[in-house]
A and B are shown apart, each in its own frame.
Chain A
Amino acid sequence: MATSSFFHPSVAFLMMAVILPFLPGNRRWKWLLLLPPLAAIYAAFNNPVGDHLSLQWLGQTLKLGHVDKLSSIFAQVFAIMSLAGLIFSLHVNDKGQHVAALLYVAGGFGCLLAGDYLSLFAFWELMSLGSTFLVMLNRTRESVLAAFRYFLYHTIGGLLLLAGVLLRYRLTNSFDFGPIASSGATIADWLILSGFCVNAAVVPLHAWLPDAYPRGTVTGSVFMCAFTTKTAVYVLARAFPGWEILAIAGTIMAIYGVLFASMENNARKILSYHIVSQVGYMVAGIGVGVAMTLNGAAAHAYAHILYKGLLFMGAGAVLYATGTQRLDELGGLAARLPWVMVFYMVAALSISGMPLFNGFVSKTMTIAGAAESGWFWVALGLELAAVGTFISVGLKLPYFAFWGGKPTDWQRPLKPIPANMYAGMAILAILCLAQGVYPDILYRYLVFQEAVHEFHPWTSWNVIQALNLLGFSGLAFYVLRKVIAPHKALNLDFDLFYRLIGRMALFFVCRPLAFFDNIWTNVWNAVGLRILKALGRLTNVFDKKVIDLIVDGSARDVKRVGQLGALIQNGRLQQYLGLATFIALVILAIVWYC
């Protein structure tokens, strides 16, 4: 498992996912959940640069442990987030949720360290499986339906990626996962790019995200908001730096996300649209593709995972305590949930890019890099999105959740929030502040160190500019606070088209295909069955005279296998997925040790 002090973090998470269901039920097992993230933190900071863990499979070399500066910085923040996320979810007794989270995080680390497309694809699908369960295990009709849509959509995204990978292999005879030049890109590269863009929630492929994340479990969505889109950002940064289309797509995402967040009523849906928006900054940075914006994308991914995890923890804590995440049903809670409010505000000011908080040192790097390399409209679009971010996540959400112009709501019964949830929030809040005050603890891990020295966030002008931008967008909110007040509504998004396409596919299967299937059944009944019956009579004679004497017992075995098969084929997607994951892990183990 370890070669020359290298340790693969996924191994720890996978092992815990496998043994957890067999641990006795006295709840002491919960403390063991913290071991994989601690091992991952150690590995992320200490794994040596280089290629580790090569595996021969089907004549291919799978590279499972590719470590360089880019994968290291993502691995660090993934490890820290997995620790905070598991602490936040320690009170959960449902082992299924923990197993799903462990598998999901294992998939994330696997993608980060994959040196070839085949390993990447395998871990990519593991993430998709784990996250589907994190939505489904919320165990409401709404969540189960959302989980099905989520899984269907990510399967299509995964197939785009697989098609691209296989086509690319035909063209280049290699599964190597590295930078692809935008000049001379083939259809295979575009397919891979579109598979990545599904997970990065690039508009218009983004609508799965605000559909699924608000419906996940309180703790599951904390994991999901951190890993899926940022894994996609990582693979885009590795394979597609400098693809100009990404600069445009990222800017559109940044603005589109804040527009939808401004009209939403559901707290976690607002935060979900802000993932689209914030990932837009990273995608734009990758698209511009100069050293400063690539640094900016990685730095922003790091900062974003910390503050977005904290935002989802805060909104999740409100949902946990009150039972609702609809802003029109909340308000007057500041004195009832004071520490949730404080931790939420740390994250809200971080995402808004307020000085002293980590968004200030990461967001500005991408914007400055874009402006200085001539991407005027991209930089301006990102500044525009910053205004919308502060208004919707920094002001609207906390104002209507904690105040809303209402007196303190002493009557509302609140479910007490367990101490571990506060602990998870405190860890992330401290890190958001620490990175904002001492940017060096983030910058020192960036890939292009020479570009780091060209950028200084803490200049007096940068501080004054941020305070003016945010202060006066705050004034705009104050003036229009009655206009922006949220109401119950569903705002149509691109998932309208996904559903339409889904219905058309279903119609095609139900009508024309079923018609041909009926004709075939008739033909078969008329011709095929007669031939079969005649053959049957012949074999019957043979069977009675010969076979029964020899292998009578085998019939009973076949019957038993058939019954087992019927048990497995019960139409329950969650059991199919669980079985598929189990078989995949068994095959991996066999390949590993043989």
Chain B
Amino acid sequence: MPPRGENLGFLAKLLAAQLTAGRIKLWRRVFFGALLLVAALSLVIPNHHPHFGYDKYPLFWTIFGLGVGLAMVLTVKKIIQPVIKKSEDYYGDL
């Protein structure tokens, strides 16, 4: 809870109120619902100008976003960073 006497603006109150378990669950549902909606819309709305060949197939960008996102984070955090990671003051600049 905010300290007593602190005068919160409407935006601060609104944001603070979103951190209850119920609200988080609601926002998660909204997020997944929106994802389903945009994926469904990509099946309905045709791509008149495919640039890459494969992007003429439905759901190409859906799979591209998810696949590249997963692959990139895993590659960076699990393969690249362990190799190049040093202590924060490795160069003695701090």
Shortest Cβ distance from A487 into B: residue: B85
CB neighbours of B81 from chain A (8 A): 263, 489, 491
Are B65 and A145 in contact, CB atoms less than 8 angstroms apart?
no
In whole Å, how far is A224's beta carbon from the nearest beta carbon of chain B? Answer: 18
Are B66 and A472 in contact, CB atoms less than 8 angstroms apart?
yes
B3 interface hit (Cβ, 8 Å): yes
CB neighbours of A464 from chain B (8 A): 38, 41-42, 45
A338 interface hit (Cβ, 8 Å): yes
| Residue of A141, A338, A372 with highest tally of chain B CB at under 10 A | A338
Shortest Cβ distance from B3 into A: residue: A410
Contact pattern, A 513-546, Cβ under 8 Å of B = 1, otherwise 0? 0000000000000000000000000000000000
* Given A407-B19, A461-B47, A473-B65, A259:B35 Cβ within 8 A: no
A320 interface hit (Cβ, 8 Å): no
A484 interface hit (Cβ, 8 Å): yes
Are B84 and A465 in contact, CB atoms less than 8 angstroms apart?
no
Contact pattern, B 51-87, Cβ under 8 Å of A = 1, otherwise 0? 1100000010111111011101111111011001111
Shortest Cβ distance from B71 into A: residue: A476
Are B85 and A335 in contact, CB atoms less than 8 angstroms apart?
no
CB neighbours of B22 from chain A (8 A): none
CB neighbours of A141 from chain B (8 A): 93-94
Interface of chain B, helix or strand or loop or mixed?
Answer: helix
CA distance A78 to B56 in the complex (A): 40
Among B69, B76, B87, point to the contact of A475 (Cβ < 8 A): B69
Interface of chain A, helix or strand or loop or mixed?
Answer: helix
Contact pattern, A 471-502, Cβ under 8 Å of B = 1, otherwise 0? 11111111110011000111111000001000
* Given A335-B12, A489-B88, A492-B86, A380:B52 Cβ within 8 A: yes
A27 interface hit (Cβ, 8 Å): no
Are A339 and B11 in contact, CB atoms less than 8 angstroms apart?
yes
B5 interface hit (Cβ, 8 Å): no
CB neighbours of B38 from chain A (8 A): 464, 467-468, 471
A376 interface hit (Cβ, 8 Å): yes
A329 interface hit (Cβ, 8 Å): no
In whole Å, how far is B87's beta carbon from the nearest beta carbon of chain A? Answer: 7
CB neighbours of B9 from chain A (8 A): 338
Are B51 and A379 in contact, CB atoms less than 8 angstroms apart?
yes
CB neighbours of A305 from chain B (8 A): none
Are B41 and A477 in contact, CB atoms less than 8 angstroms apart?
no
A51 interface hit (Cβ, 8 Å): no
CA distance A468 to B43 in the complex (A): 11
CA distance A334 to B94 in the complex (A): 29
A452 interface hit (Cβ, 8 Å): no
- Give the contact stretch, choosing among A126-134, A229-237, A382-390, A574-582: A382-390
Give me the interface of A with B, judged by CB distance under 8 Å: 141-142, 145-146, 258-259, 262-263, 334-336, 338-339, 341-342, 368, 371-372, 376, 379-380, 383-384, 387-388, 391, 407-408, 410, 460-461, 464-465, 467-480, 483-484, 488-493, 499
Q: List 18 additional contacts besides A408-B19, A473-B69; criterion CB under 8 Å.
A: A262-B77, A263-B77, A334-B16, A335-B13, A387-B68, A388-B68, A388-B69, A391-B73, A469-B64, A471-B62, A474-B69, A475-B35, A476-B72, A483-B77, A484-B77, A489-B81, A490-B85, A490-B90
Q: Which 10 A-B pairs have the closest CB atoms?
A: A476-B69, A472-B65, A371-B51, A335-B16, A473-B69, A472-B66, A338-B11, A492-B84, A473-B65, A467-B38
Interchain residue pairs with CB less than 8 A apart (26): A141-B93, A335-B13, A338-B14, A372-B51, A387-B64, A387-B72, A408-B2, A465-B42, A467-B41, A468-B61, A469-B61, A471-B34, A472-B35, A472-B62, A472-B66, A473-B68, A473-B69, A474-B35, A475-B35, A477-B69, A477-B73, A483-B78, A490-B85, A490-B87, A491-B86, A493-B84
